[in-house]
Structure 1
Amino acid sequence: MKTSSEIDRLRRKLRPFNKVIVGLQRCGIAIGTMHVLSVRGRKSGQMHSTPVSPLTVDGVRYIVAGFEHADWVKNVRAAQVGELSKGRKEQAVKLTELPREERAPILRAFPREVPHGVQFFVRTGVTAGPDPESFAAAADRCPVFRVEPIQS
């Protein structure tokens, strides 16, 4: 696992990339499995957006976080609702965090369902390797949110 200063440096490096992804999505350009999750900030009350790659396991959609102390994770925990968009398609969603003991099967599926996201988890030290069991072993430190559409 990386130190907190190494994680902070990585987060700073990711900000410009995240802004590009969010900007492209808002222009209607969807990239791979990337979506944009927008959630109301727990302090500011303003909407904040971050790129995510949802995965589907047994017909249910999930979002996996690499850093449990990331601001977007804290905002999701506080708001429990948000907006998930891909390109110009938007959907209001309810986000429910899974208990630690229920995360392993979803994390085990991550390398198969979101292969382009595997290197991020390995490079940041979140997982020991790219294999499904390394992902399952990270269940204590990788929040997983069930994504359910909110009917308008």
Structure 2
Amino acid sequence: MDNATRYLVPTGIEPIMNKILNLVPKVGISVAGGRLLAVRGRQSGQWRTTLVNVMTAADGQRYLVAPRGHTQWVRNLRAAGAGELRLGRKTETFTATEVADADKVPLLRLYLEKWGWEVGKFFDGVTKDATDDELAAIAPGFPVFRLA
């Protein structure tokens, strides 16, 4: 699969589990930093939501990483340039800037350190212990956004 278009569609029981897990932040519970990402659809203009892990780097900057690749939420966020992070009744608006592939290596490593237990299966055997070259090789397949 081409890294530039890599998209792992949820299969089997995953769509059902995703619907259930999306309810958790709606009631105000954050598991491992999870938030409900809301982004306007690039064609419909309707709000679309999905559960995401908000990652905070050592410098305090926050990021979203797309472990399944160039998903619909990624495409919508690229088009909208902004969205909301929701947890219960709290809503935080943000703008997003996509991170260049050359700058993703430390971010992918940190993401795998924090959530490899949850999303490792989407990384095709690449772990937090991978070399910089290995992480750089997969970087195009994993969109990353800096939040402001």
Do Structure 1 and Structure 2 share a fold, with TM-score over 0.5?
A: yes
SS at match of 1:138: helix
Q: How far does residue 11 in structure 1 lie from its aligned partner after superposition?
A: 4.4
Write the letter of the residue equivalent to 2:53.
S
Q: Is 1:23 matched with 2:20?
A: no
One-letter code aligned to 2:128:
D
What's 1:74 paired with?
75
- Provide the identity percentage: 34
Unaligned runs of 5+ in 1: none
1:128 is matched with which residue?
A: 125
Q: Is the 8 A contact 2:70 2:142 kept in 1?
A: no
Q: How much has 1:84 moved relative to structure 2?
A: 0.6
C-alpha contact (below 8 Å) 1:108/1:136 kept by paired residues: no
Q: Quote the residue 2:38 is aligned against.
A: 38
2:65 partner letter: V
Moved more, 15-24 or 104-113: 15-24
Counterpart position of 1:63: 64
Q: Is the Cα–Cα contact under 8 Å of residues 104 and 137 in structure 1 kept in the other structure?
A: no
Residue identity opposite 2:110 in structure 1? A
- Matched residues in 1 for 2:64 and 2:129: separation? 16
Aligned residues: 141
Deviation at 1:139?
A: 1.0
- The Cα shift of 1:135 comes to 4.5
Structure 1 residue 115: Cα displacement:
4.4
Paired letter, 2:102: E
Unaligned runs of 5+ in 2: none
How do 1:64-103 and structure 2 match up within 5 A?
64-103=65-104
- Alignment partner, residue 145 of structure 1: 145
- RMSD over aligned CA atoms reads 2.5
